[in-house]
Chains A and B, each alone.
Chain A
Amino acid sequence: MGKKDKLSGEKSRNASSDYRQIFHEVSLKHASRRRITDKIISILAIVCVIGAIIPLGSILLEVIKNGAAVISIQFLTQPPGSIGSDSGGIGPAIQGTLITVGLASLIGAPIGILSGIYLSEFAPTGSGKGVKERAISFFANTIRLFNDVLTGLPSIVIGIVGYVTIVLAINSFSVWAGAFALSIIMIPIISRVTEETLKLVPNSLREAGYSLGISKSKITLFIVLKYAKDGVLTGVILAVARIAGETAPLIMTILGTSLFFTGLTGPVDALPLKIWRLASQPYESAHAFGWGAALVLILIILILSASIRIIAHGKGIRVRTGTI
């Protein structure tokens, strides 16, 4: 530590205090401009948020305003009366929605979740060199590609697929067809969300499991999935909420009817379908019923979301908004 170091030390000390001086002056110069810019951008952001909420809010208000008047026990439980009349209700539509969506979830959720588990745990995009590893990798990437394509597929096309596969096969419009079509919409959503959520599980948990000599499937089910269950559940809720409002696939598959549920192989009504049909009729009463049905649909989805969150909260699961 000779004289030389002392000198250069002093030099650098001087340089840094010079820089400090310069930076200080520069920051003072722009201080007020910065504050104003800050305020402007905050106000802009708030305005945008309000702008985004307004359409949503106005829709809700409109639906509530127009639909509330029509709601009654009769409305909710009775089959529709003759076309154009005041009497009757949308009972079958509500029932149909619940049944179709329920069945679709029973089919779609397990397949979606298992597919997501496979993609995340058993076929990661590692660059394995072996032939077997390459084949699995290729297979998994293909599945992911299909998932992404399916999520973007227009739902009317899915409806046509349902029509061709099931309706023509059993020769009648049916609940099966509707549930099938809706589940096709659900599966890629749930699969994607499950895969992404599972990938977020820290690898240290899996390693801990392996180091205890636990088999991979048990680790996946009891450790990884348990950790990720809130994310997976969110994916399922999102998918259910999405299909509850789908109309196009239902047109070709369940047909819609004025009757209550007659069997899985028969046609059934559904709320989105009913709303569309009611809205296309020229009668005032039909339009009023349409608003009522819309209100009922929105309420069902809200209750579904809320109840799942309440149940999940009760079990200590936090439900986050999903990744898609």
Chain B
Amino acid sequence: MSSSSNEEVTSYSPGWSNVDVNKMLAPATTQASIKLSIQSVNAWFGKKHAVKNVSLDVKENSVTAFIGPSGCGKTTLLRCINRMHEMTPNARSDGKVILDGFDIYDKSTDSAMIKRRIGMVFQKPNPFPTMSIHDNVAAGLKLNGVRDKKLIRDVVEQSLVSAALWEEVKNDLDKPGMGLSGGQQQRLCLARALAMQPEILLMDEPTSALDPIASSKIEELVQQLKEHLTIIIVTHNMQQAARVSEYTAFMYLGELIEYDQTKDIFKNPHKELTEKYISGRFG
């Protein structure tokens, strides 16, 4: 088995000219710092123990995928990271989530502030129906007290560019957000999350409601965005995890079974359960 070449891979299509393909194919180096450390996190829905003592470290500027069969707790774990889990009635959690050395579950932390540093994109696109495209992207800023109109307009443009939506909507910023197609709406939600300039972006099955072309656009965006953000993506599509992520965590019935570099998990997993799942022998 020959090791991967260390030669420079030059860009091969105009659309990718601004992406460093080497960075794309090579994982974040092991020297990369740890952005987020999940330590002994448990989560419950009433009596149901949905996440059982999970610990893992997420490297900065990497894409990490959570995979596993339905009900394994991957979405719950994701929602523990930005403290959305506790907003569900009857839900509680414990453990630590350390962001840049600071525990976000600390009593003194403002939960809303965490959500400004850790953005989220949901499974079904949910733009605000009563707002225009511009207002949708600006919603987070405006409703958090930002008043400077010019600043808002600049951030809106930058966010829509980052979400690869600007060219399609730049002349229709006042049109309602709901008038866009499914794939565009999801990119709008992405722009809305990016407008808050988060450090970490959580994506909960972001392409499961989209057609293949729209899905691949989102996957391309993830590759571009990881240069500035750390991304965690929950997906039930294993091929997507294999395509998009550098690190993969496999969960089953609430437990973390295996967490490793994606290429190793998909070529030679350590745990038999992991092998069974990714080979399609269950779930």
Measured CB to CB, the residues of A under 8 A from B are 124, 126-129, 202, 204-205, 207-215, 218-219, 222-223, 226-227
Contact = CB atoms under 8 A, between A and B. Distances in A.
A213 B90 contact: no
B112 A215 contact: yes
Contacts of A210: 84, 87, 115
A132 to B, nearest CB: 13
Nearest to B176: A316
Contacts of B115: 210-213
A58 B192 CA distance: 57
A208 B89 contact: no
Contacts of B89: 124, 126-128
A126 B88 CA distance: 10
Contacts of B192: 208, 212
B130 interface: yes
Given A210-B87, A212-B139, A204 B124 contact: yes
Interface string B21-36: 0000000000000000
Contacts of B113: 213
B84 A211 contact: yes
B266 interface: no
A207 B82 CA distance: 12
B193 interface: yes
B182 interface: no
Contact of B112 (A128, A202, A214, A227): A214
Contact of A218 (B124, B127, B143): B143
A324 to B, nearest CB: 24
Nearest to A212: B140
B190 to A, nearest CB: 12
B128 A213 contact: no
Contacts, number: 72
A213 B112 contact: yes
A127 B124 CA distance: 27
A112 B126 CA distance: 29
Contacts of B112: 213-215
B128 A208 contact: yes
A215 B140 CA distance: 10
10 contacts: A127-B90, A205-B129, A210-B84, A211-B82, A212-B139, A212-B192, A212-B196, A213-B115, A214-B112, A222-B143
Contacts of B234: none
Given A128-B89, A227-B129, A213 B122 contact: no
B126 A227 contact: no
Nearest to A204: B126
A146 to B, nearest CB: 23
A16 B82 CA distance: 54
B13 to A, nearest CB: 34
Contacts of A215: 112
Chain B CB count within 10 A is highest, among A129, A211, A214, A227, for A211
Given A128-B89, A128-B90, A218-B143, A211 B120 contact: yes
Interface string B132-165: 0000000110011000000000000000000000
Q: What are the 8 A-B residue pairs with the smallest beta carbon separation, nearest first?
A: A126-B89, A212-B140, A213-B116, A213-B115, A211-B120, A204-B126, A226-B130, A213-B112
B254 interface: no
Chain B CB count within 10 A is highest, among A212, A219, A222, for A212
B126 A208 contact: yes
A11 B61 CA distance: 59
Contact of B116 (A128, A209, A212, A222): A212
A208 B189 contact: yes
A149 to B, nearest CB: 27
Given A126-B89, A218-B143, A211 B193 contact: yes
